[in-house]
């Protein structure tokens, strides 16, 4: 077979880490003490049972599953924080309504319990808040568990701490993958580079997992992938566009944190591109109802104009949603009076979805340029909120709004990494289509009765639920938001068609542009990562390849029993 030695790929490798303060101490200075290292300073080698690129929700779940079963793991993360969308991207958990009791793995619910415990152990909660089993620190409308990004980092590091201490886990933060060595249809090694020092490691393992936010390993390793929107002719999906377009991708969002200090003036300097963003109207079909910097937007399910409210004092805004409360992560009323002068909220709203460029398959310079433009949009939105947004008393602006960089782990209040809704996606053994999970499409293809339940996969390795929720896209689509059904995660969607020892553990599984919309949220990504970690455990234990686990009825049955014993649900209750 043809051997390809370290192919350099110049695709997306950038992050916000270089422009933000480095808050976690780098592991580079400790590298020589890690088990399995060899070689000279600046070019070292680490061997493990599993190498995971990306320390997001899927990466952490994958690592924990492997570590609990005795595997040695190397996990890289290009920012200073592990946790992905929960932490570095600043997105409180997007979950379904049954999450407190079922519809997620046992370890995910343990994570949620640990997050609540973090607040009860460390914060001065009111007696009422401290007594709540379902404590929601921020009382945000979007989730039953709106927490600070820093809390997520602390809890995840605590879960990994014993394995770091024992040497089973080598965690390389501020480190990104730069090259891959492949041999035919197998990955032999990855090269990782420290963003802080430039030191390099060669990472060897029998299995590799791509848990990066954008599917970075796929082009490095030559793994076949798709991106953007497939055409209706390709997938047969009801909501797919007539014409496919790889560059038609969901908007990303650079989230930011702010609080409100009554009576203070924290108005920032007028942003350089404020006039541009103040008059910007998204070019979408069906049309957006007006300017982006406005309280009126397209209601996702009907695309009709809907006006939102905004009041950082937490006062109800009538029948309209108060944007301030939507992703609020600290509700001051949960804590001893006076401990917080004001609430803290995360801005991940329709008004700061960035539509003017993509982050997939661009070089690092373009990546940074695009993210910097999203930052300028954020600053323009903040300035508009401080100076122009209508107030209930008839005035304009809330000058007491203040950026909270400390909350986001950055110098400027922005997230360390953009919130990614859409990644490269592997060409998988099985691709989830809208007809498998979408109510309308399922009804058209399989009839009224079939539309009451999602596809029942013989190779299910997990469950999840979320609407088919696609934000406006860079190709000009407005929201696509349509009902889905509680679904399963098929093992076939986690296995590439050709590459034998690389597995996905993020938004890079075998979905389409459409079905990615319900498989991209926190508990599903965690489930994917955990099941992939357990798949590696099983493959190594029995000496079989992942594809053989799926193809053999005996192995599949045994693997499904194994993951169930670890608390992975493979079916929804009737």
**Mean pLDDT of the 537-552 span:** 98
**The pLDDT of residue 118:** 98
Token couple for 242: 């007539």
- Each residue of 255-298: pLDDT tens digit? 999 999 999 999 999 999 999 999 999 999 999 999 999 999 99
**The pLDDT of residue 42:** 52
- Each residue of 412-459: pLDDT tens digit? 999 999 999 999 999 999 999 999 999 999 999 999 998 999 999 999
Percent of the chain with pLDDT over 90: 91
pLDDT band, residue 38 (cuts 50/70/90): very low
Length of the chain: 574
Tell me how far CA of residue 569 lies from CA of 102, 108, 526, 566, in angstroms.
8, 11, 12, 9
Token couple for 461: 């390795």
Greater confidence (7 vs 51) lies with: 51
Question: In the predicted model, is pLDDT for residue 19 greater than 80?
Answer: no
**The pLDDT of residue 20:** 32
3-state class (DSSP) for residue 141: coil
pLDDT band, residue 13 (cuts 50/70/90): very low
pLDDT band, residue 41 (cuts 50/70/90): very low
Percent of the chain with pLDDT over 70: 93
Lowest-pLDDT range of 55-59, 282-286, 315-319: 315-319
Contact 219, 361 (CB under 8 A): yes
Alpha helix segments (H runs only) across 86-148: 106-122, 127-130
**The pLDDT of residue 224:** 98
Neighbours of 41 (CB within 10 A): 10
**Mean pLDDT of the 138-148 span:** 96
Contact 54, 76 (CB under 8 A): yes
What does the H/E/C string look like for 466-510? CCEEECCECCCECCEEECECCEEEEHHHHCECCCCCEEECCCCCC
Query: Residue 560 and residue 332: Cα distance in Å, rounded?
Result: 44
Question: In the predicted model, is pLDDT for residue 22 greater than 60?
Answer: no
- Each residue of 365-402: pLDDT tens digit? 999 999 999 999 999 999 999 999 999 999 999 999 99
Beta strands in 17-168 (DSSP E): 38-40, 43-47, 50-53, 73-77
pLDDT band, residue 43 (cuts 50/70/90): confident
Question: In the predicted model, is pLDDT for residue 12 greater than 90?
Answer: no
**Mean pLDDT of the 190-197 span:** 96
**Mean pLDDT of the 211-226 span:** 98
Question: In the predicted model, is pLDDT for residue 469 greater than 70?
Answer: yes
Lowest-pLDDT range of 65-74, 231-240, 306-315: 306-315
Query: Residue 417 and residue 15: Cα distance in Å, rounded?
Result: 6
Query: Residue 250 and residue 265: Cα distance in Å, rounded?
Result: 35
pLDDT band, residue 315 (cuts 50/70/90): confident
- Each residue of 91-141: pLDDT tens digit? 999 999 999 999 999 999 999 999 999 999 999 999 999 999 999 999 999
3-state class (DSSP) for residue 322: strand
**Mean pLDDT of the 132-156 span:** 97
pLDDT band, residue 28 (cuts 50/70/90): very low
Strands 401-403 and 353-354: unpaired
Beta strands in 104-231 (DSSP E): 169-173, 175-183, 186-194, 200-204, 207-210, 225-226
**The pLDDT of residue 7:** 37
pLDDT band, residue 5 (cuts 50/70/90): very low
């Amino acid at each position: 077979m043809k051997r390809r030695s370290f192919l350099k790929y110049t695709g997306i490798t950038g992050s916000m880490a270089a422009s933000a303060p480095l808050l976690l101490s780098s592991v580079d200075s400790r590298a020589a003490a890690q088990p399995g290292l060899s070689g000279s300073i600046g070019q070292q080698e680490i061997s493990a049972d599993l190498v995971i690129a990306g320390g997001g929700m899927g990466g952490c779940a994958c690592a924990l599953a492997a570590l609990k079963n005795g595997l040695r793991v190397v996990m890289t993360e290009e920012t200073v924080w592990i946790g992905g969308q929960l932490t570095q991207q600043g997105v409180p958990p997007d979950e379904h309504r049954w999450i407190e009791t079922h519809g997620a793995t046992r370890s995910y619910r343990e994570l949620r319990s640990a997050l609540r415990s973090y607040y009860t152990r460390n914060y001065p909660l009111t007696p009422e808040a401290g007594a709540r089993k379902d404590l929601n620190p921020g009382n945000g409308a979007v989730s039953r568990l709106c927490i600070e990004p820093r809390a997520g980092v602390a809890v995840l590091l605590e879960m990994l701490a014993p394995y770091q201490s024992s040497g089973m886990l080598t965690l390389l933060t501020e480190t990104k993958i730069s090259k891959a060595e492949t041999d035919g249809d197998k990955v032999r090694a990855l090269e990782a580079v420290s963003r802080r020092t430039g030191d390099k490691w060669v990472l060897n393992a029998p299995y590799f997992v791509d848990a990066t936010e954008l599917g970075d390993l796929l082009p490095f390793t030559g793994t076949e992938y798709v991106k953007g929107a497939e055409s209706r002719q390709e997938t047969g999906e009801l909501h797919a566009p007539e014409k496919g377009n790889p560059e038609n991708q969901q908007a990303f969002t650079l989230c930011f944190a702010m609080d409100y200090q009554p009576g203070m003036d924290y108005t920032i300097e007028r942003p350089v591109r404020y006039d541009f963003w103040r008059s910007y109207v998204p070019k979408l079909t069906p049309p957006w109802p007006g300017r982006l910097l406005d309280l009126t937007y397209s209601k996702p399910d009907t695309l009709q104009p809907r006006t939102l409210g905004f009041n950082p004092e937490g006062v109800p805004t009538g029948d309209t949603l108060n944007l301030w409360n939507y992703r609020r992560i600290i509700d001051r009323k949960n804590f001893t009076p006076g401990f917080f002068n004001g609430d803290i909220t995360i801005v991940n709203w329709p008004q700061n979805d960035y539509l003017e460029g993509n982050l997939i398959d661009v070089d690092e310079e373009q990546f940074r340029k695009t993210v910097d433009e999203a930052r300028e949009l954020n600053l323009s939105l903040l300035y508009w909120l401080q100076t122009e947004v209508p107030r209930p008393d008839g005035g304009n602006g809330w000058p007491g709004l203040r950026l909270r960089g400390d909350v986001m782990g950055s110098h400027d209040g922005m997230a360390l990494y953009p919130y990614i809704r859409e990644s490269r996606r592997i060409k998988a053994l099985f691709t989830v289509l809208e007809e498998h999970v979408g109510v309308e499409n399922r009804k058209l293809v399989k009839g009224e009765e079939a539309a009451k339940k999602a596809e029942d996969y013989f190779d299910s390795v997990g469950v999840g639920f979320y609407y088919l929720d696609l934000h406006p896209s860079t190709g000009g689509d407005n929201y696509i938001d349509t009902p889905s059904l509680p679904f399963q995660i098929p093992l076939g969607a986690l296995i590439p068609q050709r590459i034998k020892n690389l597995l996905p553990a993020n938004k890079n599984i075998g979905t389409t542009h459409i079905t990615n919309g319900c498989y991209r949220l926190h508990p599903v990504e965690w489930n994917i990562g955990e099941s992939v970690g357990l798949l590696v455990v099983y493959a190594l234990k029995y000496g079989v390849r992942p594809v053989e686990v799926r193809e053999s009825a005996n192995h599949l049955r045994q693997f499904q029993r194994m993951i169930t014993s670890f608390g992975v649900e493979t079916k929804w209750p009737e």
